[in-house]
Each structure stands twice: as C-alpha cells, then as structure tokens.
Amino acid sequence: MGRGRRSVLAVAVTVVCAVTVLGASGTAFASAGPDRAPTQPATTSPALPSSSPSPSSPSVTAPPDKDLEAVRTKLDQLYHDAAVATDAYNAAEEKAQQQSAEVVGLSQKIVEQQRKLDDLKDRAGAAARAQYRTGGLPPQAQLLLSNDPQQFLDGAGRVLEGERATSGLLQDMTHAQQDLQQYASDAADRLQDLEANRKAKATAQKRIQQRIKEAEQLQARLEERQRERLAQLERQAAQQAQAAWLDTGILKEIGGSATEADKKAVAYATAQIGKPYEWGAEGPKTYDCSGLTSQAWAAAGHPVPRTSQEQWKQLKHVSVKDMRPGDLIIYFGDASHVAMYVGDGRIVHAPRPGRTVTLAGAGTMPILGVVRPDAD
C-alpha cells in the first residue's frame, strides 16, 4: 500500500474515531421553561425571611409575603436562565448529531474513493505494462518489421484504442484524487464544527447546572411552612394571570377544530402527564418543554424542530384567536418555553426542574405567539 493510500485511510480512521469521541460527550437531558415572565437576573440572592419563633411559641407569625415574593421572583429568574441555556444545549446537541452523521458519511466516501483510485491505478499500470511488451517501437518501425501489413493495421488500431483508454484512465485518476482531497477537507471542517458544538454544549450544560443548583439552594434555605406559602403564592400568581387572560374574552374567539394529526399529538402529550421534567430529555420517562412537544408531533407524523426557539422560527405562525388543540404556544420574549394547547384555555407542558408534565392555564405565562406544526 502506497504512502498516499495509507495517509488517506488514516484520515478516514481518524474521522470515525473523532466522531465516536465527540458524539459521546455530554449527557442526554432536557429543557424547561419558567412559570412566570422573566426579568433581569438579580446579582445577589434575595434576603430570606428572618427565623420565626418556635412552633410551640404563641407568638408565631407568618413570614412577610413580600419577602417570599422576592424569593419567587429570584427563582423565576434562575429557572428562566436555565431554560435559555437548555435551549442552547439542545440546539448544540441537534447540530452535533447532524454533523456526526455528515462526518461518518464523508469518511465512508473517503474509503470508497480510495478504493476507486487504487483500481484506476491498477488499470493504468496494466495498460503501461501492455505497452512495454510491444517494445515501445514507433508505428513506422513496427510496419517495416511486420510480415503482415493487415495484422499491423489491426494492431495499430488497438494501440490507438489503448492510448485513448490510458488517457481516460489518467483523467479519471486525476478527478478521483481531487474528489478524495475534497472529501478529506470537508471531513476536517465538519470535525472542527463538531468540536465547537461540543464546547457550546459543555458551556450550556455548566450554566444550566449552576442555575438549578442556585435555585435548589435558595429553596433549601426556606422552612417548611415558608415553602408551603411560596407554593401558594405561585398558584395564586398563575391563577391571577389565567383569569386576566380569560377576562379578555379570548376564549370566546378560539374555536379551531383539531385535525386527526392534532388529536394524535394531544393524546401523546397528555399521556405523559405526571412524568418528571428533566432538562435535555425527550422521553419516554422524562421530558423538557420542547422535548415533550417535539416528541408529541413526531408521534403524530409531523416532525418539528427540537428547541422552542427553532419551533418559533420555523413553524407557521397563527393568531391566538385562530389556534386549535395541537398548536404550540411559545412563551416569553426570547421563546424560551413552549407548551401544547389542548382546548378550553388549557395547555399541557413540562414546566421546570422539580416539576412534572402537567395541565395548566394557557394564560399563566406571557404568550409570545402560536405556531402550527401541521399547517401544510
């Protein structure tokens, strides 16, 4: 095997190994969206309510709601930041999968092209050896030395055909070599892109974990009765937001009928109710917000982009009053959360870490817009 062949095959082997290593980095997880409108993250954690007297004391007082509201706001900020980072992680993961497939395809082309080039070289060598056996004499000398002019003319015709074939082989070899070099170059570029996405995934993963850890630490500092009151405040805020949305009369305007695909997507999504949220997850045991909606529509036969931001960018937009069950509602100005509308002013979604897939009011979060996966 020649040095050129060894080097190209080495490239192919390196490509496959690199894909294996890069593709294995990162863990499959899932995204989540916040339950309230995001605000600019605070630079410091809010002060927690002061320790209260022991439950046995008659002077026990509930912690001020304003302090718990500050905690709730901070938690929303942290989970929103985690949701944005999750979308970045999911996007990098999706691109990395595509690039891995491209690199593997290119490595296969490199091997195939090297085999083609080797075959062409063998054929060209055979042609050269055949010409050598004729002695390499010019046609005039061969005519003078021939006892049979017709035999010479027949041979001369075959020589011309051989020369044309050899010329064609050389051209094919040149093109094959150029294609081989291009495949190797493309594979190297894809590997660089793959490495960049690996780093983007790692950065996003670190940010997600940091924000979730901060949120968990903040909640852990609360006493049990404070956590109960915090949960109550969260429910009240959601109810108030839903009531305000319904008070606009929007539900009277919404009357779109679900298609068969819509019904399949809704059936899939609602069947996941109760399963835990996990950032980066696409089921079947855990989901993030866009993992749930993308899998629901894949089950309905209409694949959609993996992330909420890409769902917002790529799918057809419809007005809120025209939405129907199965449509996806995108939330917050940065499209960091997505849910599926199921009718009667309700959604099914995977809220955030620590929560499960659940039904909620469609107006409990700020609506950016509505998209329709089966618009075509």
- Please write the tens of the pLDDT for every residue from 311-336: 999 999 999 999 999 999 999 999 99
Is 289 marked active-site? yes
If you average pLDDT over each of 38-47, 117-126, 335-344, which comes out highest?
335-344
Let me know if 93 is exposed, middle or buried by CB neighbors in 10 A (0-12, 13-18, 19+): buried
pLDDT of residue 132: 60
Dump pLDDT digits (tens) for 10-24: 444 444 444 444 444
Question: Does the annotation count 349 as an active-site position?
Answer: yes
Taking alpha carbons only, the member of 358, 366, 359, 305 closest to residue 335 is 366
Query: d(Cα 46, Cα 69) in Å, to the nearest integer?
Result: 10
> Which pair of tokens denotes residue 262?
């819509």
Q: Which of 64-68, 308-312, 317-321, 359-363 has the lowest mean pLDDT?
A: 64-68
From 17, 175, 302, 337, active-site residue: 337
Question: CA-CA distances (angstroms) from residue 298 to 173, 279, 303, 366?
Answer: 45, 19, 4, 26
Mean predicted lDDT score pLDDT of the chain: 76
The residue-averaged pLDDT of 293-299 equals: 97
pLDDT tens per residue, range 236-280: 999 999 999 999 999 888 878 899 999 999 999 999 999 999 999
17 carries an active-site annotation: no
pTM of the model: 0.62
User: Taking residues 337-351, what's their average pLDDT?
Assistant: 96
Report the C-alpha dihedral over residues 302, 305, 310, 316, rounded to 10 degrees. Answer: -10
Q: Which residue is catalytic, options 80, 289, 302, 317? A: 289
188-237 pLDDT, tens digit each? 777 777 788 778 888 888 888 888 999 889 888 888 899 899 989 999 99
Residue 256, token pair as written in the block: 């779109």
